[in-house]
Structure formats: C-alpha cells, structure tokens
Structure 1
Amino acid sequence: MVSRSTRKAENPKNSEAGPSLAAKLVAEALGTFILVFGGVGTALFAAKFPDSSNSLGVGLVGVSLAFGLSVVAGAYAFGHVSGGHFNPAVTIGVAVAGRFPAKDIAPYIGAQIAGGVAASSVLAAIATGGPDGFFAAARASGFASNGFGDHSPGGFGLASALVTELVLTAVFVLVILGVTHKRAAPGFAPLAIGLSLTLIHLISIPVTNTSVNPARSIATVLYADGWASSQLWVFIVAPIAGAALAAAVYRITSARQPS
C-alpha cells in the first residue's frame, strides 16, 4: 500500500515513466475488490464461532485475519502500480501529508468505491444461492455493515463509534505513512500494513464491526436493510477525520530538524 508509485510524487525529477492514471485506477478498483470480497465475504459466510454444529466458523480472529490478509494480497499485487491505497481515507491521508497529488484524489476514490461495490455485488449474488432465507437474513443483519447502538456487535453507542473509527484510522494511516517512507524497507510494507489492519479489526469489530474505510462501508450498505444507510455518515466522516489527523501528526514527526 502507498508504495513506490506514490513516493514518486515526492521526487518530480524522477525521469522513469510510471503507470498511467487509468492503470492506477484499475489497480485501485481491483485491490479494493479483493479487500471487500475477502474480508466481507468471510464475515458473511464464515464469521460464526465454530461449535459442534458449525465446524466452518472462524470467529472474530478469522474475520480480522481475512481483512489483513486481503490487504497484504492486494498490496503485493497492485501496490507497485497505484500505491495500493484501496481506501478513500488512505488516499486523503497521504494527500494531506503531501505524498499524493490532490488532482488524483477524486478519481482514486471513485475507483475504490467501484471496486468495493463490485465485490459486494458478487457476494450478494453468491448469498442468493444460499440456504432458504440466507440472503434475507444477511440483509436484515446488515450484510456485514458497520453500525453503532443497537447495530453495534457489542452494543456500543455513537460516541464510542466515532472515537474508535477516528483513532484507529489515524493509527492505520500513520503506520502506512511510516512504513512507506523513503527510509523504510518497502518490501515489508504490505506485511506491516496487513498486520496493522488485523489488529485494528481485533480491537474494533465488537464496537463498530470495523470500517476505517469508507469504500468498504458504502459497499455493504447497498445490500443491507435501511438502518445501515442511516448510520453510514459515521463511517465516512470519522475515518476521513482520522486520516487528516494522522497526516498532521506525520508532518510534525517527519519534519526536518535544523542542523
């Protein structure tokens, strides 16, 4: 995520021709597709805790790993093309940090949302072929959407949801900015980012079902019952605010010290 193609924006003298914007947008859409398909798909089809009647359940740890591993896969596959954001909050964060051109923010976010919606649409098609009532039950439960109050897995309220999403998105974006810095070892960035996302899910699935990614939240709302769309604003506003906070902290901590 946010690999060499993003860091090139810091060095306009680099004469090497990079991928076209069209190629980057396709990469962002595909990477977001993998993230939503892998993470949300696991939440929909395998999230129940394993017991004697459900040997396929993976529980909270399994869903958390699915999101983290999906990011690792997407970042290694497409990070060299687009920088591997796969998340509007990440795109905004790296732009505010001065490491991504502002003119490409809107196209990137559009590609990410399109990739997420494509993934949730494929998942919905699969769900319609499930046991009787499976799709209707998935919709009623939110189709793995994010929520607070009665729709928080642990019953956490609005304030808890806002703080959780803001802080954890800030942490996530700070990790991304740190491990993709020009002085960091880029080959390990996808692993660090994926493990960070896994940790974030382990913390926050009980609170909000974990967003930290507006594209992921928008993708699932499309197939959820009406309550999910009424709460969507939290999972757009809080991650974006968290990303901006992370960028501000990054600018302070990475500022050149006087010699």
Structure 2
Amino acid sequence: MTTDQPQLFSYSGSTAPDTPFPFAAPARLADLMAPDWAEVLAPVRTQLEEIASELEAERRAGQHILPSPENILRVFQRPLASARVLIVGQDPYPTPGHAVGLSFSVGKEVRPLPRSLNNIFAELHTDTGITPSPSGDLSAWADQGVVLMNRVLTVRAGEAGSHRKRGWEEVTELAVRALAARRRPDGTRVPLVAVLWGRDAQGIVPFLGGAPTVESAHPSPLSASRGFFGSRPFSRVNELLVQQGAQPVDWRLGAVR
C-alpha cells in the first residue's frame, strides 16, 4: 500500500463481481504471466491455489477483495528478463477503484490521487525537474523494466494490511530472490536497483543478495517529512544503474520537462 500506518476509514460498500480468481486450480501460471516469471514462481503454484481458495471464501462471506482478480498478478505480466528496478510497496490501496496490481500506481481516471503518490510526484519534480502528468498511472515505468511490486498482493476494501500472513509474503520473497539471482553469461549480475521506502520494504534486504538499494522513509503523509522528501530516489536509481552498465530510467509520465 502507500502508507506504513493503518487506513483511516472503513468500507461498507457492495461486494465485487463474482469473477473467478485466475490463479485458482487448475489454471496454469504460463497463462497468467510472462513465461520466465511462470518458471521461477512454479514452486509456489500450490500456495497460489490455496490463497485463491481463501480469497474466494472471504468473498463469499461478503468481503470486497482488491484489486480486481485479473489484476492481482499484473506485476508478473512483463518479462522478468527486462526488469532493472524494483520499487516495493506494502499492499494494494484499500480504496475501491484505486488498486491496479502495480505498487503505488492507480488508473488513469482516478482523481484525486492518493496522498502518497502525490508525495512521490512532488519528490520526482524536486529531484529531476520532471513535472508529472495529472494521471497516477505508472505503467510507463513498468514498461521500462521498473517492477512495481507490493509485498502482499491483495487486501480487503477499507482494511489496510488485512491480507498479511496469508502466503503472499512467500510468493513475493521468491520473486525478489529471482530478480536478484539473475546473472549474465559471464557470471556477472544483471543490473538491478531496489527502491525501499519504509520499514516493510526494507525488510526484503536479505533477499536481494547484495544488489544496490535506495532507502528512505515512506512517502506516506505520516512519514514523508521524516526522510522521504529530499532523498532523491529517482536520480540515485539512475546513477546506480549507470554504474552497473545499464541505461537510466526515463521517469517522465507523458509530461514535459
């Protein structure tokens, strides 16, 4: 999600449509994500089926699960091989209509933007001079190999952190380890920089195998002034990519510099 703190509201709306969770048995991972991600996540296939069963039970009990079923595994739809930056979130936005399966991102139509995302855009401008578009859709970053991954991939509407300890942490731990383990034919590491905002994200450091990180406080309004603002994450990421022989990320989102 976009905050290290509990959400300050509850949700009492209607339940979501009865769309099947696509990773329930007997679906094949290769039909749901990029082939290289399907290969590395094969060891947690049974766990994904168990998570799907738990989510279905919650939904039948009247809970609204976010994001929509087809977006839950969206972060794995772009190839693992193209990844060069990892930005770690906590869990999806619990506000209905916000969660899209990519950490910190929202749909193009969402207004106003979540406060954490506004803070990210403010720091983007301070750091790089880029003025972002009004849209909070970060898929242009994902298209460049920025993996926008939450540690937990689902949440109950209005209840931040409600799907912790359901098995998602093991799934995303395996994903992080796979990102960090990639090697070129000569044995050198494939370039990767991990952006870790807040304590939850920084908990993945042991899985990164020494990959360089950019760490600071979380962009939540409750913590951004305690080290996120002024941390220059975007330029620091690009410096670390160039040091590894990789191309920098173009952080523009359809805006003019």
TM-score range, shorter chain: under 0.3
TM (normalized to structure 2)? 0.28
TM (normalized to structure 1)? 0.28
**Structure with greater helix share of residues:** 1
Q: Which has the higher contact order (CA 8 A, sep 6+)?
A: 1
**Structure with greater strand share of residues:** 2
